Structure 1
Amino acid sequence: MTLLAQRNSQLFSVQSVTSRANLMAAPPDSAPVPGAITEWLSKLAVLKGVPFGYLVPDEAMLPAESIRFFVLDPNWINALFEGATSIGRSSTRDAALDARLVAQLYAAVAPAGTVSGFVLRSNVVAGWPGIEVRAYDANHNRLTGVLRQDVLSPTVLLYMTTGQISYVDIGEPSEAMHFGVDIGQTSKSLRYVTVPAGAQPNTRPGDQVDKASVAVTYRSAGGGKRVLKIADLAKALETALVANNANLVPGTQQQRPFTPAEFALELVEGVQTVRFKNTTQEASA
């Protein structure tokens, strides 16, 4: 049995050498890169599978309620690819084969040239499960090549996109729109129903009237639930619209009627959005 095992071992060794020789003799572009390899390296190109400790090695770099912008160094990704593809490379023959196939491999994966993003650590990640992110470059162009928007933990969000981020708008899900006022709010901002001739350029119906608001009052017998005085609020909104010419018949100075439709428009509470600016931008290598 021992002799048989030795012969089997020698046979497998010969088969391995023969297989490698045939592989070296074949042209590097004779077959496409296997899909499993392309998929694996494509995930590595956007840091999937990379331990979080490699991305944020110290917790102090990402304290609670903070956001950190970054630009992905392509040299770091190249080193990551090199390490990943060197698994099993045990001879100069393997190294020579890798050198012949590297161009084909990179062409198959096609990693993005400029990639930037941010890591957000905040309770809003858990509080807004459908959080929406819109990233823009320095020329205010929307960056639409989103590569990742993943919740890594209940309070940590990783976002990556092609291009270099100048600022991002992070907001509640769009379906969160409702009517009313925020808890504890003592005033309600006024919105244009129609836009008068003297308004700022590009003002649209529904935009807020600059520095115009009405007081919000509550019933004293609301059982602790702060019930609005609807009639008083409606009257105050109607008066403010007249004073600001914000509900005129278009092209005239004639006031439009104040109906439940206008009242509903004034009470629309849009989704909350916060803008973060990347004030220390660095050009990618």
Structure 2
Amino acid sequence: MTRLAQRNSQFLNLQTLLARPALLSAGPASDPVPGEITQWLGKLAVLKGLPFGYLVPDEAMLPPESIRFFVLDPNWINALLEGATSIGRSCTLEAGIDAQLVARLYAAVSPTATVSGFVLRSNVVTGWPGLEVRAYDAAGHRLDAVLRQEQLSPTVLLFMTTGQISYVDISEPAEAMHFGVDIGQAGKSLRYVTVPPSAPAKTQPGGQIEGASVKLSYRAAGGGKRVLKIADLAKTLQAALVANSANLVPGTAQQRPFTPAEFALELVEGVQAVRFENTDKEVSS
């Protein structure tokens, strides 16, 4: 009997709410939306949890070793959130409650109006974990508000940011010093160990010497792989530094010793970076 009384009480409450819709919004408008709900909807707004087939319906749209830029359609995101918030809307009461809460939910999630990004499918995603991405707009301003950068599979990287991407620079992670030369490189650029008075203004030690490089020489036998002649390279670098006055005792014309430290400085390599331009220029409305 107790159970029946409880059910009857709930039924009377439902009837009261349906008869007076204004009661649906009687709660304080300032009541915060539960964090679990806003977090879940916020993830949907940046496409988290969506099947990959919704993003790339056909493999031909993202072939191996390709990059595809995109702009999110705000109407599509609104439809996605609408579908998510309509779960369980199976009766008049639930529809009424949903109509009252939807504005508060959208305000709490606050989807970004202009979102763009790219999907990269390449073996570099596997070969170089932790790739660094820098996105820029048409005016060359850095788009720092990154919404998502995630490796979806061993060879697929998804990147999303606020604003309209004009081009992106993708580079190796700059986590440590890199030494050596590029494969196929015929010469090695020279760097200042110390800066002579004849150098351009604001030149710093370690900066590259404009137009100065040395020729690389390789061993004849290397099992099919080219091996640098390190001793010859050291002598060539030392002579080039002398010729460019790039290793002098500061304030004098006296040459500094050429030690392994100077040799290592000359072999410093910056991280490799590649720039991709969004030539189609799709614009979010």
Instruction: Report TM bin, short chain.
Output: 0.7 to 0.9
Gap change, CA 1:171 and 1:15, over 3 Å in 2? farther
1:161-208 Cα deviation digits (max 9, x unpaired): 122222211111212532222345442222333456666676544343
Please state how far the C-alpha of 1:66 moved relative to its aligned partner: 0.8
Please state how far the C-alpha of 1:92 moved relative to its aligned partner: 4.3
- Separation in structure 2 between the aligned mates of residue 186 and residue 151 of structure 1, nearest angstrom: 35
Q: Is the 8 A contact 2:14 2:93 kept in 1?
A: no
Q: Which amino acid aligns with 1:131?
A: L
Gap change, CA 1:261 and 1:25, over 3 Å in 2? closer
- Separation in structure 2 between the aligned mates of residue 190 and residue 233 of structure 1, nearest angstrom: 12
Describe the SS at the equivalent of 1:38: helix
**1:150 aligns to 2:158 (yes or no):** no
- Separation in structure 1 between the aligned mates of residue 122 and residue 26 of structure 2, nearest angstrom: 53
Mind listing any 5+ residue stretches in structure 2 that lack a counterpart?
none
Gap change, CA 1:13 and 1:100, over 3 Å in 2? closer
Q: Which amino acid aligns with 1:17?
A: L
Structure 1 counterpart of 2:268: 268
Q: Which amino acid aligns with 2:191?
A: R
Gap change, CA 1:181 and 1:72, over 3 Å in 2? same
Please state how far the C-alpha of 1:221 moved relative to its aligned partner: 5.7
- Separation in structure 1 between the aligned mates of residue 71 and residue 107 of structure 2, nearest angstrom: 22
1:74-105 Cα deviation digits (max 9, x unpaired): 11111111111111223444333333222211
Structure 2 counterpart of 1:46: 46
Please state how far the C-alpha of 1:9 moved relative to its aligned partner: 11
TM-score, reference length from structure 2: 0.83
Please state how far the C-alpha of 1:240 moved relative to its aligned partner: 2.7
- Separation in structure 2 between the aligned mates of residue 68 and residue 223 of structure 1, nearest angstrom: 40
- Separation in structure 2 between the aligned mates of residue 273 and residue 118 of structure 1, nearest angstrom: 17
Mind listing any 5+ residue stretches in structure 1 that lack a counterpart?
none
- Separation in structure 2 between the aligned mates of residue 18 and residue 93 of structure 1, nearest angstrom: 9
Structure 2 counterpart of 1:133: 133
Q: Is the 8 A contact 1:28 1:101 kept in 2?
A: no
**1:14 aligns to 2:32 (yes or no):** no
Please state how far the C-alpha of 1:115 moved relative to its aligned partner: 1.4
Describe the SS at the equivalent of 1:175: coil
Gap change, CA 1:86 and 1:237, over 3 Å in 2? same
Q: Is the 8 A contact 1:190 1:209 kept in 2?
A: yes
Q: Is the 8 A contact 2:115 2:161 kept in 1?
A: yes
Please state how far the C-alpha of 1:53 moved relative to its aligned partner: 1.1
- Separation in structure 2 between the aligned mates of residue 197 and residue 210 of structure 1, nearest angstrom: 15
Structure 1 counterpart of 2:192: 192
Q: Work out the number of aligned pairs and report it.
A: 281
Deviates more, 1:176-185 or 1:149-158: 176-185
- Separation in structure 2 between the aligned mates of residue 250 and residue 263 of structure 1, nearest angstrom: 19
1:14-43 Cα deviation digits (max 9, x unpaired): 277269669615336263211111111000
Please state how far the C-alpha of 1:247 moved relative to its aligned partner: 4.3
Please state how far the C-alpha of 1:249 moved relative to its aligned partner: 6.1
Percentage of pairs with the same residue:
73
Please state how far the C-alpha of 1:157 moved relative to its aligned partner: 0.4
